[in-house]
Amino acid sequence: MFNKNTFKKRILFVGIPDMAYIGLDGLLMAGVNIVGVLGPKKDHNMYVDFKNFTLSRRLNFIEYDELDEPQLIQKIKELDVDVAVVCSFNYKIPKVLLNSTKDGFINVHPSLLPKYRGGNPYSRVIMNGETETGVTIHFMDEGFDTGDIIIQKGYHIHSKATMGTLFNELNVLGIELLLQVLQAYETQELPRIPQPNGDFISGKGLDDRDLFINYNKTAEEIERFIRALNPFLIANTTFRGNMMRIMKAEVASDAFCIPHPAGTVAKIEDDKFFIATAKGLIAPTVLQFGSFFMGDSKDFIRIVNPKIGEEFK
């Protein structure tokens, strides 16, 4: 249990939404002494919202243009920061900034490092069919998620986990673990466990072209892909030249179905339609079709009337 009455360290909070909202509020609710907040750059689409969020909590929001600018470094030094806490920050932090606090920067990363370094481990672990992930608190260096590990805690991934549920659950776990680390930091030197060298599976972020369904994968892989993007990114496909977004889907066997090329409608029932894949069938159940409607598969069949053999791309 975090004891705010004994915690006297001066903390700089660093982060970019959405994780930063959860992290900052979690620390404030626990009674951590936040002496400054470093958010996104001014050209970031969340800059204004996060600045207003910070100011609404009567915190010191620090403006900057570049992370290595002398004015910023001087501001941090004047705040007499003991340690900086980072919750989701996709800018590389330069050495001069890392050295501007007494004990450096510590980061909350939602994976069991060194696996899944990068900006979106939530989606990647689900896509890859992992059954366990977790949270790592580590010291930061000039790389991304490569610094010495302080503590880790594992988390079982539910078979129907989505990006959204995993994001929420790992952020709660992350704040609990961070408060545990800060409480220990008040009275003792934190452990530093170097990360091993080598090539490890990546947790890199996704761009727009990564969001399209590949029907040459198996139905199980596609179903995981759809869950891995829901609700923040959403899996994309096209049908009859219109964009279609799939939020939820089910896997079905193709054992008793006439073979069809991957990506084509293989079977239609009263309230479901089934798309052929490399192995098995995928049945979208919650979807948005163009600008026409958002609904379930029954609505899609009634309104759009798909035919056996029609292609999804």
CA angle, 291 then 296 then 299, to 5°:
75
Residue 27, pLDDT score? 97
User: Which pair of tokens denotes residue 247?
Assistant: 């939020």
Nearest Cα neighbor of 252 from 235, 275, 231, 230 is 275
User: Which pair of tokens denotes residue 175?
Assistant: 């704040």
Residue 290, pLDDT score? 84
Question: What is the spatial distance between Cα 252 and Cα 52, in angstroms, rounded to a whole number?
Answer: 48
Give the residue-averaged pLDDT of 43-59.
94
Residue 259, pLDDT score? 92
Residues 6+ positions from 106 with CB-CB distance below 8 Å: 83, 84, 85, 86, 137, 138, 139, 140, 150, 178, 181, 190
Rg (alpha carbons) of the chain, rounded to whole number: 23
Residue 217, pLDDT score? 98
Give the residue-averaged pLDDT of 62-68.
95
Mind listing the domains of the chain with CATH numbers? 11-187 (3.40.50.170), 208-304 (3.10.25.10)
pLDDT digits (tens, 9 = 90+) for 115-146: 999 999 999 999 999 999 999 999 999 999 99
User: Which pair of tokens denotes residue 86?
Assistant: 């980072």
* Residue 256 pLDDT > 90: no
Instruction: State the SS3 of the chain.
Output: CCCCCCCCCCEEEEECCCHHHHHHHHHHHHCCCEEEEECCCCCCCCHHHHHHHHHHCCCCEECCCCCCCHHHHHHHHHCCCCEEEEECCCCCCCHHHHCCCCCCEEEEECCCCCCCECCCHHHHHHHCCCCEEEEEEEECCCCCCCCCEEEEEEEECCCCCCHHHHHHHHHHHHHHHHHHHHHHHHHCCCCCECCCCCCCCECCCCCHHHHECCCCCCHHHHHHHHHHHCCCCCEEEEECCEEEEEEEEEEECCCCCCCCCCCEEEEECCCCEEEECCCCEEEEEEEEECCCEEEEHHHHHHHHCCCCCCEEC
pLDDT bracket for residue 72 (50, 70, 90): very high
Give the residue-averaged pLDDT of 163-192.
97
User: Which pair of tokens denotes residue 251?
Assistant: 């896997």
pLDDT bracket for residue 184 (50, 70, 90): very high
Give the residue-averaged pLDDT of 211-224.
98
* Residue 10 pLDDT > 90: yes
Residue 6, pLDDT score? 87
Residue 139, pLDDT score? 99
User: Are the C-beta atoms of 237 and 313 separated by less than 8 Å?
Assistant: yes
Residue 293, pLDDT score? 79
* Residue 107 pLDDT > 80: yes
Give the residue-averaged pLDDT of 98-109.
98
Residue 257, pLDDT score? 82
Question: What is the spatial distance between Cα 25 and Cα 54, in angstroms, rounded to a whole number?
Answer: 10
Question: What is the spatial distance between Cα 151 and Cα 137, in angstroms, rounded to a whole number?
Answer: 5
Give the residue-averaged pLDDT of 102-120.
98
* Residue 255 pLDDT > 80: no
* Residue 57 pLDDT > 80: yes
Give the residue-averaged pLDDT of 265-283.
96
pLDDT bracket for residue 239 (50, 70, 90): very high
Amino acid identity for residue 143 in this structure: G
Give the residue-averaged pLDDT of 72-96.
97
Residue 5, pLDDT score? 87
Give the residue-averaged pLDDT of 102-125.
98
Average pLDDT value over all residues in the chain? 96
Question: What is the spatial distance between Cα 45 and Cα 43, in angstroms, rounded to a whole number?
Answer: 6
pLDDT digits (tens, 9 = 90+) for 282-308: 999 999 998 777 899 999 999 999 999
Residue 208, pLDDT score? 95
pLDDT bracket for residue 235 (50, 70, 90): very high
